[in-house]
Amino acid sequence: MEPRIETLTEKKLIGKSLAMSLTNDKTPVLWKSFMPRRKEIQNNSGTELYSLQVYDPSYFQNFNPTTAYTKWAAIEVTDFETVPPEMETFIVPGGLYAVFLHKGSSTDTSTFHYIFTNWLPKSDYVLDNRPHFEILGDRYKNGDASSEEEVWIPIKLKQ
């Protein structure tokens, strides 16, 4: 499973966020609060949904499944002129990303396991301190074995 390497331009997102950890996963709660209201977001720049994670800079150096991070359910927009009540804005900074195609249920962690234990250590890259995210497009089917999504991992060249 080889990724494509892409240079992302800055993205503007509107959505909802929630603090959680791997052991206290609140992803279903976050998406259940976001999905019924996603149509309230004006000026969408696409139809894809973004599942985005913001980690503390030391998150992966001292990995612990109980460590909290912030997860977002969001949509890309052209501007922040209209933000629905109880929603927030987020800017994803541009930079280099490794993009993997994950096939299977969102509960299947094999792609992430491969990325962090196989591909990344053997690659010419290290993690960069920017958000990680998944793009849930028209082939995404929550919980379905035939689902597909893109996994975007922020990287930079090894020094």
Q: Which residues contact 159 (CB under 8 A, 6 or more apart)?
A: none
Say if residue 9's pLDDT is above 90: yes
**What is the average pLDDT score of the chain?**
94
Q: What is the mean pLDDT of residues 48-60?
A: 94
**What is the pLDDT confidence band of residue 16, given thresholds at 50, 70 and 90?**
very high
Cα four-point dihedral sign 145, 27, 123, 155: positive
- 149 burial class (0-12, 13-18, 19+ CB within 10 angstroms)? buried
Helices (H), the chain: 27-34, 110-114, 120-122
Confidence of residue 37 (pLDDT cuts 50, 70, 90): very high
What is the average pLDDT across 133-141? 90
Q: State the Cα–Cα distance between residues 106 and 42, nearest whole angstrom.
A: 27
Query: What per-residue confidence (pLDDT) applies to 56?
Result: 93
Nearest to 89 by CA among 123, 52, 142: 52
Q: How many domains does the chain have?
A: 1
Rounded CA-CA distance 69/23 in Å is 11
pLDDT in tens, 106-123: 888 889 999 999 999 999
Q: What is residue 87's predicted lDDT score, i.e. its pLDDT?
A: 98
Could you list the residue range(s) of the whole structural domain that residue 143 is in? 4-157
Indicate the DSSP class of residue 39.
Answer: G
Which CATH number characterizes residue 99's domain? Answer: 3.20.80.10
- The burial class, CB within 10 Å (0-12 / 13-18 / 19+), for 126 is middle
- State residue 152's pLDDT score: 97
| Tens-place pLDDT, residues 90-109 | 999 999 999 999 998 888 88
